[in-house]
Amino acid sequence: MPMKKDIEKVLFSEEQIAQIVDRLGATITKDYENKNLLLVGILKGSVIFMADLMRKINLPCKIEFMALSSYGASTRSSGVVRIIKDLSIDIEDYDVLIIEDILDSGNTLSKLKAMLELRNPKSLKICAFFDKPERRTADIKADYIGAEIPDEFIVGYGLDFTEKYRNLPYVGVIKPELYN
């Protein structure tokens, strides 16, 4: 794969990712039994994770998507969260589970969670495939976490750098010379 030359090291293989998704799917299935589950995927990063995860949730559920932006072409969040695509349904009767690729500074998810709470869902929780607690600046935690990772810039499995590398089937650390 030509993009492999841009990767310093692989953090999670396809097999490791599958194990994490299986574990999260089983836990969410148990926790949301007899609830009105709505998965809200945060585009674009969560799309691969959400597609895999929803197939591991053994319950009826609906899906929706939102698109937010706070990074632009940088490896660090700007702190300004823009809503690019909002939900197309009223979430008041749903147990909402936000599906996110990575919980980094927490600024975006913190603002999103506050906004969605105003829409009165039955419940509102967060599932993040990756958690990078070293970078947290907002007071927020995910209810479901796939894996905790060090403060390195990762790509693959939906995560990008300038809209590239999302299609890698594994998660790797991108070489710093590509973004410094």
In our burial notation (b when 16+ CB lie closer than 10 A, e otherwise), range 55-87 reads ebbebebeebbbebebbeeeeebeeebeeeeee
SS3 4: helix
User: What is the C-alpha radius of gyration for the chain, rounded to an integer number of angstroms?
Assistant: 16
Q: How far apart are CA 169 and CA 157, in angstroms?
A: 5
Q: How far apart are CA 73 and CA 88, in angstroms?
A: 28
104 is catalytic: yes
Cβ neighbours for 171, distance < 8 A, ≥ 6 positions apart: 10, 11, 12, 17, 130, 154, 155, 156, 157, 159
CA angle 21, 107, 16 (to 5 degrees): 20
Around 15, how many Cα atoms within 13 Å sit in the side-chain half-sphere? 0
- Determine which one of 52, 95, 101, 104 is catalytic: 104
Catalytic annotation, residues = 104
